[in-house]
Structure 1
């Protein structure tokens, strides 16, 4: 199956620009245009309308988007399943939202390996909606995320409450200056942020990489909202400081899994995840290697 045209289509949707998509795909803009034109000819429909502000999906384009995502994921999953070495029975796909791998799931993977020695594993990071779609489609098996959607065939269990706090490297720094970095922790956080700072327009820097943001903050200075479990040790050593008079936000963290993926190992798997989560909240897990000399 050739998914190149579908991948190009999805990249244009994500980038809202033919030129930006070309840069991400490392091809020329004309090559992007040719792929989209070929796709439209096969469908007999126009999928994009171009304007000075970017590109907009047509009705046909919006309908195609859902199927394109599903087809690309399914093909990738098929290649992965077929490529699993014969010494393993199957592959387990573990997904999480940004910020939940660092000092949490990255420490859980070895436990999974011990509990399921006959399995291979794939770890992924994505947005909550994309993760849930992959679970419904049978591509992802288990996920840890902030805002799971209730879907048939998917079990969801509350894992812990994440405390998001505003920290800074310099207590004298102005609250929302150019060194404030906005991290997109999802729709609930955006609403919380707007209620705190109703007149705030837009941060100079916006990140969708929460775990990378901590490294960036420690090395370059500034302020941002980050999970307390990631920053508490740096607060204890005086490398980061809680910004006073700014309330914390609580984001519930859940674990979700496909009912069809359940096996004898599921209770032990969930128990081990809860144990890792508790140790993470108690600041008992080792810091990532890059943080040791920060």
Structure 2
């Protein structure tokens, strides 16, 4: 009889691309992953993967099983959520977002949603895009807000905000070659940045801190590419200055949600309040951050 652990292991291989990546994601040995899949294949009576030097690929039976594995894990997570719903609440909504999107967006959305749905408990987390998408695939998350979503079966994707990465500085008088801090914003930005600024390809300081990086830029009297939505309050206060004529990099954020969420009304309210908060954020109507 298939159990949820076997289904999760199967999905981890699909998401990771091979058995080694799955073992790292699940924090188990590769032999454990192999044993689980072998037992699963014996129960189903068909192989689910083909392995070669090029990697791991799904067999026709594996492709068919993928949809059922997702549904199975999703149903299990829904059951677990419902059993764990706190007293005085009717439902639970699990929401994940990248750190930069909690800052001046999701932290402001939480009370708006709670006012709209006071009997829905929220479970919130932050993480990198790969982790958030994995949690979505496994059914652990109901809704994710991130910059680089992946389109997967059973999930809906909608652009939430049209943000930009802009070049700002905390020391307008310092040469850019001396003050520049490279902020990691994904492969697409890295390739664009290398073409636009070949002279800044190897600065002395590189960070992958998301929106928190604005603190370091200000404190270090540095310059960096940061989301316009995040730096606007600091530009208004004079803590940062935009560098004229520097190109901007489009950096939209997206909402990804489970299409089969049990209570469609709850998800509709979550999305509606997200859109309202995102629009207020882009209009500069949200309160400034608590720290700089």
Give the Cα–Cα distance (whole angstroms) in 1 for the partners of residues 112 and 274 of structure 2: 8
Give structure 2 stretches of 5+ with no counterpart.
1-19, 36-51, 57-69
Residue 14 of structure 2 corresponds to none
Give the Cα–Cα distance (whole angstroms) in 2 for the partners of residues 44 and 209 of structure 1: 36
Is 1:169 matched up with 2:195? no
Q: Quote the RMSD (CA, aligned, Å).
A: 3.5
For normalisation by structure 2, the TM-score amounts to 0.70
**CA spacing shift, 1:271–1:78, aligned 2, 3 Å:** closer
Give the Cα–Cα distance (whole angstroms) in 2 for the partners of residues 87 and 251 of structure 1: 40
Is 1:195 matched up with 2:200? no
Q: Deviations over 1:238-284 (max 9, x none)?
A: 22111233111111221111011251133332222111111111211
Give the Cα–Cα distance (whole angstroms) in 1 for the partners of residues 81 and 203 of structure 2: 39
Q: Deviations over 1:174-213 (max 9, x none)?
A: 2132x42222111221122111123443232222222211
Q: Deviations over 1:30-63 (max 9, x none)?
A: xxxxx98xx4776799xxxxxxxxxxxxx9xx98
**CA spacing shift, 1:40–1:279, aligned 2, 3 Å:** closer
Residue 109 of structure 2 corresponds to 108
Instruction: Name the stretch that deviates more: 73-82 or 221-230.
Output: 73-82
Q: Per-residue deviation at 1:13?
A: 6.1
For normalisation by structure 1, the TM-score amounts to 0.70
Does structure 2 retain, via aligned residues, the 8 Å contact 1:165–1:226? yes
Give structure 1 stretches of 5+ with no counterpart.
1-8, 15-34, 46-58, 64-69
Give the Cα–Cα distance (whole angstroms) in 1 for the partners of residues 34 and 112 of structure 2: 50
Residue 87 of structure 1 corresponds to 88
Residue 158 of structure 1 corresponds to 159
Q: Per-residue deviation at 1:233?
A: 2.2
Q: Number of residues paired by the alignment?
A: 242
Give the Cα–Cα distance (whole angstroms) in 2 for the partners of residues 144 and 43 of structure 1: 30
Does structure 2 retain, via aligned residues, the 8 Å contact 1:148–1:256? yes
Instruction: Name the stretch that deviates more: 111-120 or 99-108.
Output: 111-120
**CA spacing shift, 1:250–1:44, aligned 2, 3 Å:** closer
Give the Cα–Cα distance (whole angstroms) in 1 for the partners of residues 264 and 78 of structure 2: 20
Query: Any idea what SS the aligned residue of 1:264 has?
Result: helix
